[in-house]
Amino acid sequence: MGVDGFSYGMLDAFFTPIDESVWAPHRDRKETVGGKLLVHGKSFPKLKKTKLALIGNGAGADAFRQSFYRLQWRFGDLVMADLGNLVETDDEKQRQFALSEAMGELLGMGIHVVVVGGSDSLIYGHYKAYRQHDTPVEIVQVTPGIDMEEGTPLRSILVEKPSNLFNIDFLATQAYYISESTAALLEKMYFENHRLGEVRDAIEETEPILRSAHILQFDLNAIRKCDAPSTQLGSPNGLYAEEAARIARYAGISNQLSSAFFYGLKPDTHDDASTDLLAQMVWYFVDGFTSRYHDHPTHDSTEFLIYRNRLSSTGHEIVFYKSRKSNRWWMEIPHPYDKRTFFIGCSYRDYEQVCADEMPDRWWRAYQRLM
């Protein structure tokens, strides 16, 4: 039996082992990622002390591993396992079920999850893994376009009933890939859409967005083609490689983000630049994960400085919490109908806005989603 009475044999059924030709060359290289990982090769790894699990999806996963395993291990005593590839099936519903069930069990065991490979078809299964989550779920999608049409994976998330979805933030979008009807729906639902130019001008502002998220879904098509030639979209515009890696690290360092899904490369074309970049992005995610501050605010914490500002224009009181440990900022969002409150990540820029008697867009959108 595994942790909390769960059978590893049941979890094992969702995965196929990694071919020995992929992991064996790295087995004795203890300074590298491949030499440190617990690998599902000849047997399924024991997960009792595991904090982070890697799941491969589709044909490109082993190409990613070839690049990832070669990188240097800089993560101290972190216990990380590579569980192998998600079982192959032609039935899309079965594949969604396999991912959501496997991830749900891992999350229930306190294990954070990174899924690598495939297309956006599994983002619904990724979200479904949180169906037992006891708090509202926030998603960040890094994506060039947004498709909310009937039958799309994103639409499936939006119409799910019952739903524990609270918010989706979109990063690095490009306007010519988003229809007017979708843009109007985003405004109606008070979701945040941060376009590529906005992200590039102030990439550090993506950190507080990711700090409030539970789920990262990173579409590699948001990266320009010359930095990731094997993307399915192949757009001349997009994030630079360095920006993609920086966003991945911001996600890793997020206090409450518990899973990430990196997808969007062509399944049958694996150039070194694309797989190396993906490997480096996941490496930076893990680096962020091992550097977490664990400083989410509470009302009675002495580890935060509290600033209260009332907007003369609207009468709303905006309360900021600044961590003494990390110097990061949060805003307190009061529930409009009861005495509950919660916190969202923000930056010093939001505090400056309030000092100038301006309403921060993040505070207003979060407040409206509660109405």
Tens digits of residue pLDDT in 58-84? 888 999 999 999 999 999 999 999 999
In sequence order, which residues have a C-beta less than 8 Å from that of residue 301 and are 6 or more positions away? none
Residues 52 and 132 in one domain: yes
Output the average pLDDT for the chain. Answer: 94
Residue 18, in any domain of the structure = yes
Residues 260 and 352 in one domain: no
pLDDT at residue 319, as a whole number: 97
pLDDT in tens, 1-55: 344 434 445 899 999 999 999 999 999 999 999 999 999 999 999 999 999 999 9
Residues 7 and 85 in one domain: yes
CB 307 within 8 A of CB 351: yes
β-sheet bridge partners, residue 81: 38, 53
Omega before 162 within 30 of 0, i.e. cis: yes
Confidence class of residue 301 from pLDDT cuts 50, 70 and 90? confident
pLDDT in tens, 246-276: 999 999 999 999 999 999 999 887 799 999 9
Residue 298, in any domain of the structure = no
pLDDT in tens, 153-194: 999 999 999 899 999 999 999 999 999 999 999 999 999 999
Residue 299, in any domain of the structure = no
State the DSSP code for 140. E
Residues 355 and 214 in one domain: no
Number of domains in the chain: 2
Confidence class of residue 104 from pLDDT cuts 50, 70 and 90? very high
How many whole angstroms separate alpha carbon 73 and alpha carbon 37?
9
Quick one: average pLDDT of 134-148?
94
Residues 281 and 327 in one domain: no
Residues 332 and 253 in one domain: no
pTM over 0.85: yes
Quick one: average pLDDT of 296-310?
93
In sequence order, which residues have a C-beta less than 8 Å from that of residue 298 and are 6 or more positions away? none
Confidence class of residue 135 from pLDDT cuts 50, 70 and 90? confident
pLDDT at residue 371, as a whole number: 83
Residues 134 and 255 in one domain: yes
Residue 294, in any domain of the structure = no
Quick one: average pLDDT of 309-329?
96
pLDDT in tens, 222-236: 999 999 999 999 999
Residues 119 and 257 in one domain: yes
- pLDDT tops 60 at residue 283: yes
Residues 218 and 253 in one domain: yes
pLDDT at residue 267, as a whole number: 84
β-sheet bridge partners, residue 346: 329
Structural domain including 353 reads 304-369
In the numeric block, the tokens 């959501």 are attached to 100
Considering the chain, what percentage of its residues have pLDDT values greater than 90?
A: 87
Considering the chain, what percentage of its residues have pLDDT values greater than 70?
A: 98
CA distances from 114 to 61, 82, 84 (A): 12, 9, 12
Q: In this structure, which long-range contacts are made by residues 173-180, counting pairs with CB atoms below 8 Å and at least 24 apart in sequence?
A: 173/143, 173/144, 173/145, 173/146, 174/144, 174/145, 174/235, 174/237, 174/238, 177/144, 177/145, 177/146, 178/145, 178/146
pLDDT at residue 107, as a whole number: 97
pLDDT at residue 4, as a whole number: 40
Residues 106 and 239 in one domain: yes
**Strands 259-263 vs 112-116: parallel, antiparallel or unpaired:** parallel
> Phi/psi at 332 (nearest 5 deg)?
-90, 130
How many whole angstroms separate alpha carbon 191 and alpha carbon 188?
8
